[in-house]
Amino acid sequence: MTANEPHHQPIEQIGVIGLADGRRVNVRPSRPQDIDLLRAFFRALSDQARYFRFMTKLGELSPSMAQHFADIDHVRHVALLAYATNGGSQSVVGEVRYIVGTDEAGSAEFAVAVAGDWQGLGLARALLARLSGDAAAAGVRRLVADTLAGNAAMLGLARAAGFTVSENGVDRRLLRLVKELSPKAQRRRLQRFAVPAQAELQCSQGG
Ligand SMILES: CC(C)(COP(=O)(O)OP(=O)(O)OC[C@H]1O[C@@H](n2cnc3c(N)ncnc32)[C@H](O)[C@@H]1OP(=O)(O)O)[C@@H](O)C(=O)NCCC(=O)NCCS
């Protein structure tokens, strides 16, 4: 695939997630035109949330980072955006992504973030479940991430989502999150693709 060739948008990643407070958000793969939405999303996170997400002090995404985040190939770099619609305009309220690594065979590194007002409602759990299903279906065998040891929310989410948590081995500030993806998850995902579009919309929790 050349740099100028448009990437295939996987429509099977479009869906709806129902939240614990009864609200619903839409989910779709990231698109090249999402640069501004993504910059606004990360800018609006608290300083601490942004620090947890990027593990460095970052005021906002640079234009080149934003382009890297938005314009993905949907194969080695997969990203799902949860968005809310208000008066016809969209705002991103959650993002989850994985990037297939080059060092460890079958591994992909993931990250997730949810906007402050939308936290504690099951959105990250549902996004991660969807991403795990997509990864398994794409042949990824393991999702991994390093997180700061003080990031209680991410550690709680990881444990709730079935990740193992262990020492990073190199940096004592970090903990390593690992989840082996089973072929069973792959089969479930493929079955989910087979249901009619309307039924997919009712499958509100994803995964
Ligand atoms: C981590 C983060 C993505 C969680 O998002 P969220 O949508 O609020 O999480 P969910 O509501 O889906 O929670 C799922 C589970 O995670 C755990 N969890 C969530 N927030 C938690 C917290 N503050 N403390 C402890 N556990 C927590 C719980 O087990 C929860 O399940 P429960 O509600 O049934 O108890 C969010 O806090 C965030 O965006 N943080 C900043 C960015 C970041 O740290 N990213 C991770 C780096 S990769």
Question: What does the H/E/C string look like for the chain?
Answer: CCCCCCCCCCHHHCEEEECCCCCEEEEEECCHHHHHHHHHHHHHCCHHHHHHHHCCCCCCCCHHHHHHHHCCCCCCEEEEEEEEEECCEEEEEEEEEEEECCCCCCEEEEEEEECHHHCCCCHHHHHHHHHHHHHHHCCCCEEEEEEECCCHHHHHHHHHCCCEEEECCCCCCEEEEEEECCHHHHHHHHHHHHCCHHHHHHCCCCC
**HSE toward the beta carbon, residue 118, CA cutoff 13 A:** 25
Ligand 1 centroid to Cα of residue 203, in Å, is 21
Q: Is the pLDDT of residue 195 over 80?
A: no
* CA-closest residue to ligand 1 atom 30: 157
Q: pLDDT-derived band of residue 199, with 50, 70 and 90 as boundaries? A: very low
125, 168, 173, best to mutate for ligand 1 pocket (most atoms within 8 Å of CB): 125
Ligand 1 centroid to Cα of residue 120, in Å, is 6
Q: Is the pLDDT of residue 16 over 50?
A: yes
User: What pLDDT does residue 5 have?
Assistant: 57
Average pLDDT over residues 150-171: 96
What tokens were used for 43?
Answer: 């800018």
Residue in the structure block whose two tokens are 């903990």:
175
Alpha-carbon gap, residue 113 to 145, rounded angstroms: 13
User: What is the torsion angle, in degrees rounded to the nearest 10, for the CA atoms of residue 70, residue 148, residue 140 and residue 163?
Assistant: -130
Ligand 1 centroid to Cα of residue 95, in Å, is 13
Average pLDDT over residues 131-157: 96
Judge whether 96 and 78 are in contact, CB under 8 Å.
no
Q: Is the pLDDT of residue 115 over 60?
A: yes
Average pLDDT over residues 46-71: 95
Q: pLDDT-derived band of residue 169, with 50, 70 and 90 as boundaries? A: confident
For the CA of 114, the closest atom of ligand 1 is: 39
* CA-closest residue to ligand 1 atom 3: 113
User: What pLDDT does residue 190 have?
Assistant: 46
What tokens were used for 160?
Answer: 């709730």
Q: Is the pLDDT of residue 107 over 90?
A: yes
* CA-closest residue to ligand 1 atom 47: 53
Average pLDDT over residues 15-33: 97
Q: Is the pLDDT of residue 207 over 60?
A: no
Alpha-carbon gap, residue 17 to 25, rounded angstroms: 5
Average pLDDT over residues 133-160: 96
pTM of the entire structure?
A: 0.88
Domains, the chain, ordered by start = 11-202 (3.40.630.30)
Question: Which residues form the pocket of ligand 1, taking CB atoms under 6 Å from any ligand atom?
Answer: 49, 52-53, 111-114, 119-125, 145, 147, 151-154, 156-157, 160
